[in-house]
Chain A
Amino acid sequence: MTTLMLQILPLWFAALLIGVPLFVSMGLAAIAFAFFGGFPLGIVPQKIAQSANSFPLLAAPLFILMGNIMNSAGVTDRIFAFATACVGFMRGGLCHANIFASVIFAGMSGSAVADAGGVGTLEIKAMRDEGYDPETAAAITAASATIGPIIPPSLPMVIYGVSADVSIGGLFLAGVIPGLLMAGALMGMVVYVAKKRDLPRHPFPGMAKLWVAYKEAHWALMTPAILFGGMMAGIFTPTEAAAVATAYAIVLGLFVYRSFSLKDLPELVVQTVETTGVVLALVMTAAALGWCLSISRIPQTVGPMLVDLAGNPLIFLLIVNLLLLFVGCFMEALAAMLILIPILTPAAAQFGIDPVQFGLIFVLNLMIGTITPPVGVVLFVTAKIARISFEAMSRAIVPWLIPLLAVLIAITLWPPLTTWLPNLVLGK
Chain B
Amino acid sequence: MKTLLHLSDRFVRASAVVLLLAMLVTVLLGVASRQVNAPLAWTDELAQYLLVWTGFIGWIIAARQRSHIRITVIAERLPAGAGRLLEIATQGAIILFAAVLIRYSFGLIERTWDVESIALPVSSAALYAVMPLAGLALILQALAEIAAVLSGRKLEAAEPGTQPL
Contacts and interface: CB of A to CB of B under 8 A. Distances in A.
A interacts with B: yes
A58 B23 contact: yes
Interface in B49-72: 49, 51-52, 54-55, 57-63, 65, 67-72
A193 interface: no
A45 B55 contact: no
A50 B67 CA distance: 23
Interface in A45-102: 45-46, 48-50, 52-55, 57-58, 61-62, 64-65
B144 interface: no
Interface string B81-96: 0000011011001101
B31 interface: yes
Nearest to A243: B27
Interface in A168-193: none
Contacts of B70: 19-22
Interface string A314-350: 0000000000000000011111000000000000000
Contacts of A61: 20, 23, 51, 54
B5 interface: no
A280 interface: yes
A254 interface: no
A31 interface: yes
Interface string A266-298: 100110111111111110100000000000000
Nearest to B75: A19
B68 A23 contact: yes
B54 A276 contact: yes
Interface stretch (A1-9, A232-240, A354-362, A399-407): A232-240
Nearest to A43: B104
Contacts, number: 222
A235 B36 CA distance: 12
Given A19-B74, A273-B16, A274-B62, A281 B100 contact: no
A281 B128 contact: no
A278 B68 contact: yes
Interface in A1-53: 15-25, 27-28, 31, 41-42, 44-46, 48-50, 52-53
Interface string A149-171: 10000011000000000000000
B48 A41 contact: no
Contact of A155 (B128, B160, B164): B164
A24 B94 contact: yes
B112 to A, nearest CB: 9
B-side binding surface: helix, strand, loop or mixed?
helix
B71 A16 contact: yes
Interface stretch (A199-207, A305-313, A374-382): A374-382
Contacts of A156: 165
Contact of B86 (A18, A155, A247): A18
Given A24-B93, A31-B97, A65 B24 contact: yes
A20 B16 CA distance: 26
Contacts of B40: none
A227 interface: no
Interface string B14-51: 00110111011001101100010000000010011101
Interface stretch (A111-119, A131-139, A409-417, A418-426): A111-119
Among B28, B49, B94, B165, the one with the most A-chain Cβ atoms within 10 Å of its Cβ is B165
A244 B28 contact: yes
A381 B20 contact: no
A246 interface: yes
Given A278-B162, A333-B165, A15 B55 contact: no
A58 B71 contact: no
A280 B165 contact: no
Closest 9 CB pairs of A and B: A277-B58, A280-B55, A277-B62, A243-B27, A273-B16, A380-B160, A19-B75, A21-B68, A21-B70
28 contacts: A16-B71, A19-B72, A24-B94, A28-B96, A42-B104, A42-B111, A45-B104, A49-B52, A49-B131, A53-B127, A247-B24, A269-B17, A272-B20, A273-B16, A273-B17, A273-B54, A277-B60, A277-B62, A277-B67, A278-B163, A281-B58, A281-B59, A281-B68, A332-B69, A334-B165, A367-B165, A370-B165, A377-B165
Interface of B: 13, 16-17, 19-21, 23-24, 27-28, 30-31, 35, 44, 47-49, 51-52, 54-55, 57-63, 65, 67-75, 86-87, 89-90, 93-94, 96-97, 100-101, 103-105, 107-108, 111, 127-128, 131, 160-165
Interface of A: 15-25, 27-28, 31, 41-42, 44-46, 48-50, 52-55, 57-58, 61-62, 64-65, 111-113, 117, 149, 155-156, 235-236, 239-240, 242-244, 246-247, 265-266, 269-270, 272-282, 284, 331-335, 366-367, 370, 374-375, 377, 380-381, 384
